[in-house]
A and B are shown apart, each in its own frame.
Chain A
Amino acid sequence: MNDPTTDTAALPQDGQEHRLHPLSWLFVLIAQLKNFIPALIVLLFAGRGDQTDLYGLIAVVVLVAVSLAQYFTYRYLLRGDAIVIRSGWLHRSVREIPYARIHNVNLHQSLLHRLFGVAEVRLESAGGIKPEAQMRVLRLDQAEALEALIRQRGHATSNDAPQVDALEAAPLLAMSNAEVLRLGLISNRGMLVVAAAFGALAQTGDNVFGVLIDHWGEVAFGWFTGFAGAHADDNPVVVGLAVASLVLVALLLVRLLSVLLAFLQYHGFTLREDDARIRVERGLLARTRSSAKRRRIQSWSLHEGVLHRWFDRRSLRVQTASGQRGEGAQQSLKELAPIATPAHCDALIQHFLPAAGWDALHWRPLHRHAWWRIAVPGVLMLLAGTAVLTWHFGLIGLAMPALLPLQLWRARRIADACGHACNDQLVAWRSGWLSKTWNFAEIGKIQAVRLAQSPLDRRLGMASLLLDTAGASPFGAPLYLRQLPVDVARDLSARLLGQLARRRP
């Protein structure tokens, strides 16, 4: 997908309606089969009679028919200001999407797509779980031309000349293979696969792990017997070594898997900007290209874990307003820099938010008793743990509170590491101690503000401030400023709201 030209000649623009790629039914079928895989598996394994085979066949025929029907009824028309999509046979729909309302354009190519030279196009507007339009599939050059067309028409209504040369500009970030390798080493992507595999293995009912450990023990003991004498089996050192080596091998495998996944997903990662659109392209076998308007970005987060710090890297993510979940979520624009050096990350932020003063933020600390509040959950857990241990094992459980100073120290470190900052453009929240995160958003992107106090907060004179943006994760708001002194929180809230009221978006 490296075609740099924005040649829209490939696209039919003569006011006629057009169809998808002739092979599109195949991809629709495949997508539908994916949804039906559980049902098909049940059909394959549960029933062994001839009849169920027949049902399976009928199901497939129906699916093919549906896919073909979709192909024959799906038409799109490119108008000057909007794309019009007509679809459906019995239940017809005509959908008109103005180019200016299309926030994100994603082009996706799996290996199969690449074999046929086609791509799937998703057009997303703000909000909504489903994409505004999902065109599977278009010829690759048409898909690219469509993307370019949306970029031009959606942006420049005053200026009709296509800005072709912007595409040629050097990428803002291009990841080399060494960087992808680092990303794999840092990330825990492999862990997810391993966890899934463990889950699947545990489901089989056979004692896979027991067998594995036995075999490994035999191999390792056999090797050690030559080493440590005939009765090595009983030697605790040998048993310990066997277990430790097994764990080590598992860890290595996880890392290897992580690296492999990183290469699959991030090989050839490039970040470009043209016409105020940010565009990311990545993937080894399946290529994905997503783009979003710069001003559609709602909030930013910069992350630095322990492993990141070892490699002197950080990662920069953004949240855009489209509420994509599931399949689509993987393809929308999220990562501006999967990993990059801290300086490079800062430079990227500086590039996209030139007036925001990210590097000159004045960070303010939490309430001076914040560490107290932070320690509370851990201390309660510790007390509960002590109670349980003492109940079960007697007085030895009373040794648990020895961890208390450690817990308090940790809370203190966390409290020291957190902070907030706010200037005329940005509001930022920094959190985490071993694994650090900086979340920030332009003030104009804040949608609503909530100031809250729990009884404990009130006693300690603190408050928390939730600054909610459209692109927040449902699992936790990026800008949730906790343990601020109550007057500071009030001032900040009043200040932000004052700015929001003055600023008409």
Chain B
Amino acid sequence: MSDADLDRATAEATDWRAPPARAVRLHAASVALGFAAFPLLACAAVLFTSDVDELWRRLGWCLGALLLASIAGLLLGARLRFQRWVLDDAGLWLRQGRLWWRETRVPVSRVQHVDLKHGPLERRFGLATLVVHTAAVHLSGITVRGLDDADAQHLRDALAKQLDDAGDAL
């Protein structure tokens, strides 16, 4: 599937929902921060332990690593901008990634329970993460990140409401 195909497929369904820009920024920043944690620790260690003559060289290495890790984290985190989701009568669709593209589909009758999570930063930006649990082993917790609060509530309610009239899926 080429990018043109992907765009076309995305254009077909008008209600494919993308994460808001602030969600992408927040996710990229938090992943970058996570990646940078170790080089940051190394920097701190160097600052406190090295002799003066060695200090600048070592610090240079550490800062380089810090820069690389942050960039890698930013790029990885920014992949959230390729995420699309849509909820229809049959269930939830979730598309992720661009190079490593994947589309996950959960029929609503197979949803076991739904978690709505708000981290402290997510709360600050009015965002939420939805985790859809199924009885499957590998696709057991399907995570939709960077949802707008209102969307997340709506998704949760819609999925949970239909849970009531579905029977035991096992």
Binding site for B on A (CB under 8 A): 103, 126-127, 296, 298, 321, 445-455, 458, 463, 466, 468-474, 477, 486, 493, 497-498, 500-501, 503-505
Listed residue (B107, B108, B134) with the most chain A CB atoms within 10 angstroms of its CB: B107
7 of the cross-chain contacts (CB-CB < 8 Å) are A448-B110, A452-B101, A468-B134, A468-B138, A470-B170, A497-B105, A498-B90
Question: Does A497 contact B91, Cβ atoms closer than 8 Å?
Answer: yes
Closest Cβ–Cβ distance, residue B141 to chain A (whole Å): 10
| C-alpha spacing A468/B89, complex, angstroms | 21
Q: Does B169 count as interface, using CB distance less than 8 angstroms?
A: yes
Instruction: Tell me which residues across on chain B come within 8 A of A477, comparing CB atoms.
Output: 137-138
Contact partner, B104, options A103, A448, A453, Cβ 8 Å: A448
Contact A505 B137, beta carbon cutoff 8 Å: no
Given A458-B2, A501-B89 in contact, is the A468-B139 Cβ separation under 8 Å?
Answer: yes
B98-110 contact mask (Cβ, 8 Å, vs A): 1 or 0 = 0111111111111
Cross-chain contact A500 with B170 (CB below 8 angstroms): no
- Contact across chains for B137 and A449 when beta carbons are under 8 A apart: no
Q: A472 near B136 (CB under 8 angstroms)? A: yes
Task: Tell me what chain A mostly uses at the interface: helix, strand, loop, or mixed.
Answer: mixed
Q: Are B105 and A470 in touch, CB under 8 angstroms?
A: no
Task: Report the minimal beta-carbon distance from B138 to chain A, rounded to whole angstroms.
Answer: 5
Q: Give CA–CA (A501, B166) in the complex, Å.
A: 11
Q: A451-B103, A501-B108 are in contact. List 6 more A-B contacts (CB 8 A).
A: A449-B105, A453-B100, A474-B137, A500-B90, A500-B107, A505-B170
When A455-B100, A501-B89 are in contact, do A447 and B105 touch as well, CB less than 8 Å?
Answer: no
Does residue B47 face the partner (Cβ distance < 8 Å to A)?
no
Q: What per-residue 1/0 map shows which CB atoms of B102-143 lie under 8 Å from chain A?
A: 111111111000000000000000000000001111110010
Q: Are the C-beta atoms of B166 and A505 separated by less than 8 Å?
A: yes
Please measure, in the bound complex, the distance between the C-alpha atom of A298 and the C-alpha atom of B168, giving whole angstroms.
13
- Do A450 and B89 touch (CB < 8 A)? no
Chain B residue numbers with a CB within 8 Å of A452 are 100-103
Supposing A448-B136, A452-B102, A452-B103 touch, asked if A298 and B170 sit within 8 A by C-beta, the answer is: yes
Cross-chain contact A486 with B1 (CB below 8 angstroms): yes
The answer to whether A505 and B100 touch across the interface, beta carbons within 8 angstroms, is: no
In the complex where A451-B103, A493-B105 touch, is A468 in contact with B136 (Cβ < 8 A)?
yes
Complex alpha-carbon distance, A298 and B90, angstroms: 22
A336 → chain B closest CB, angstroms: 19
Query: Shortest Cβ distance from A176 into chain B, in angstroms?
Result: 35
With contact pairs A321-B170, A453-B101, A505-B169 given, residues A448 and B139 touching in the complex (Cβ less than 8 Å): yes
Residues of B within 8 A of A471 (CB): 137
Which residues does chain A contribute within 8 Å of B105, judged by CB atoms?
448-451, 493, 497
Q: Which residues of B contact A127 (CB under 8 A)?
A: 135
Question: Nearest 10 pairs between A and B by C-beta?
Answer: A468-B136, A447-B136, A501-B90, A472-B137, A452-B102, A448-B139, A470-B135, A500-B107, A468-B139, A447-B134
Contacts of B138 in A (CB 8 A): 466, 468, 472, 474, 477
Judging by beta carbons under 8 Å apart, are A458 and B101 in contact? yes
Residue of B nearest to A461 (CB): B1
Query: Can you list, as one digit per residue, whether each of B50-86 has a CB less than 8 Å from chain A (1) or not (0)?
Result: 0000000000000000000000000000000000000
A296 to B135 alpha-carbon distance, docked (Å): 13
Given A453-B1, A477-B137, A505-B167, verify A447-B101 contact (CB < 8 Å).
Answer: no
Would you give the shortest CB distance from A100 to chain B, in whole angstroms? 9
Q: Which residues of B contact A498 (CB under 8 A)?
A: 90
Q: How many Å lie between the Cα of A505 and that of B1 in the bound state?
A: 33
CB distance from A416 to the nearest CB of B (A): 26
Flag if B137 contacts A473 (CB, 8 Å): yes
Q: Which residues of B contact A454 (CB under 8 A)?
A: 99-100
Closest to A101 in B: B168
Which residue in chain A gives the minimum CB-CB distance to B88? A501
How far apart are the CA atoms of A321 and B168 in the complex, in Å?
A: 12
In the complex, chain B residues whose CB is within 8 Å of the CB of A493: 105
Chain B min CB distance to A91 (Å) = 27
Q: Which residues of A contact B107 (CB under 8 A)?
A: 448, 497, 500-501
In the complex, the chain B residue whose C-beta lies closest to that of A499 is B107
Given contacts A450-B104, A452-B102, contact A466 B139 (CB under 8 A): yes
Q: In the bound complex, how far is the Cα of B103 from the Cα of A106, in angstroms?
A: 39
Q: Is the CB of A447 within 8 A of B169?
A: yes
State A471–B140 Cα separation when bound (angstroms): 12
**A453–B139 CA distance with the chains assembled, in angstroms:** 16
| CB–CB A447/B104 < 8 A | no
Cβ-defined partner of B137 (8 Å) among A103, A451, A470: A470
* Chain A residues with CB under 8 A of B135: 126-127, 321, 447, 470
